Amino acid sequence: MPSEQTPLLQNDDSYDERAPLELFQEVDHYNRFKPGKKRAIVLTVAFAGLIPLFVSGSFIPSIPQIAREFETSGAVVNLAVSASIFSACIGTLFWAVYSGYYGRRPVFLVSSIVFCVGSMGVTLSRSIRELIAFRIFQALGCASAFSNGVGVLGDLYRLEERGTAMGVFYGAVLLGPAIAPVVGGTVAELYSWRAMQAVLFASGCIFFTLILFFFPETIHPGSSGAEKASTTGFVILNPFKSLTLVRSPVILCIVVAGITNLMADFFLVVPVAYTVAKKYNITSEAAIGALLIPDGVGSMLGAPIIGHISDKIIAQRRRRRGGVWVPEDRLRGLKFSGLILIPSSLLIAGYTTTYVDGTLGLVINLFCLFINGFGVDSMFTTLSAYGVDILHDRSAEITAASMAYRGTVISLAIAGLLPSIDTIGLMATYTITAVISLFGYFLVWIVIQYGDRMRAYVDIGFSTAHAT
């Protein structure tokens, strides 16, 4: 199994970090599939990644309608969002550990069945309790999309192609936030929120069919746990072992940075029906969904643009060093997003929604959603690619662990979001969130400056210069 190349993790004293890159060629696992086949695989996993974003994005505009049907409050229905995020945290850990043991394809097959069962249950829910219960099951099923999908990209693409590949993947996936709220809101207004859940069930069935008949196994030959153990039966694995990766200071920093990063996005998007829509007297579910289009468009642009830039930065700085790779180079393009775009979008949105009336206020809010989406997902994509770079052999696990920690904290934060807005006000809530996002970028800056020492402090099997 080949590993990525870095002099900073080299334990062999005879290694010369000035040696040219050509001396350390990887085993050629990356050319097993032709470019056209790779693109087809990426499109398939992007479709998988679209599904959970439709699960969440199409649900948000329907919250008021669901609250009316079940005669409850928006805050109670919002618990379904929090519960599904927490369920996805557990699910992504479970699917990731089995993805590394049995391969990507079996995990996609089983998880899609779970998702279909959950979606049908949500469609037929008769009470808010049933809705929350089946949302948990639904989120569990679609939780494999990102960790398993990123694992597939790590299987297919080399280091200096990976940022671009992940940018394209996330750019396609993030079509979800751009159109899911509009689609979900429109379907809810014309038919019912249940109709959208039925569409999700059908999407799960289509994905299962694609995987069953057309999707190849991408994990590198000889690298799965089952192949190494030479076992054929079902093995019980510990899904929480990935969580121990945060004992490394560098992993802890990027995980916390990811939490603060996504919190900034969720705090703008989730309460939109009770903030922007309420302020500007927007009541239609379709119109509420349309408010989130700028956030989705910003996400679609930010992911591939910054992913490509991060590859360019790595290639340029690597050439300057005569072929020596420093993983933290990938993070150097995040300054503008982390210091400017994300915190400013929160502060301006909070002030505008509180004090600016009319069309001008609405336009400013839409612009804030756009720059927030661009900034947040440029950070998200780059941090994900960096995690795969430094833990290439455990790409699904590091992705799952990061998502689990992020989702757990964010699910708790979202549960308190509307009460916070009601208690201390929107401006104060968004100011606190902006400060937290700045702290997240400070952690990224620490990794850029001291990543080599931080990785050496606790070695959890980071990628090295020599093939293993």
Q: Could you read off the pLDDT of 182-235 as tens digits, one per residue?
A: 788 888 888 888 898 999 999 999 999 999 999 999 887 776 666 777 666 677
Neighbouring CB atoms inside 10 A of 376's CB total 30
CB-CB contact of 411 with 89 (8 Å) = yes
Q: Could you read off the pLDDT of 400-451 as tens digits, one per residue?
A: 888 888 877 887 887 788 888 889 999 999 999 999 999 999 999 999 999 8
CB-CB contact of 137 with 117 (8 Å) = yes
* 171 Cβ contact list (under 8 Å, min separation 6): 300, 301, 303, 304, 307
Domains (ranges, CATH) in the chain?
7-457 (1.20.1250.20)
Least confident of 23-27, 117-121, 224-228, 324-328: 23-27
179: tokens are 């159109």
pLDDT at 154: 82
In the chain, the N- to C-terminal Cα span, in Å, equals 6
Cα–Cα distance for residue pair 90/328, rounded to 1 Å: 29
For residue 9, is pLDDT > 60?
no
* 450 Cβ contact list (under 8 Å, min separation 6): none
What percent of the chain has a predicted confidence (pLDDT) above 70? 90
Phi, then psi, of 416 in degrees rounded to 5: -100, 5
| Per-residue CA distances from 252 to 243, 248, 260, 281, 401 (Å) | 10, 6, 13, 42, 10
| Per-residue CA distances from 128 to 60, 275, 443 (Å) | 15, 23, 40
Cα–Cα distance for residue pair 245/460, rounded to 1 Å: 7
| Per-residue CA distances from 100 to 124, 143, 148, 217 (Å) | 35, 15, 9, 12
For residue 325, is pLDDT > 50?
yes
237: tokens are 């694995």
Say which residue, 12 or 390, is predicted with more confidence.
390
For residue 467, is pLDDT > 70?
no
Tell the residue number behind the tokens 């494999």, with chain if given: 144
Cα–Cα distance for residue pair 84/254, rounded to 1 Å: 23
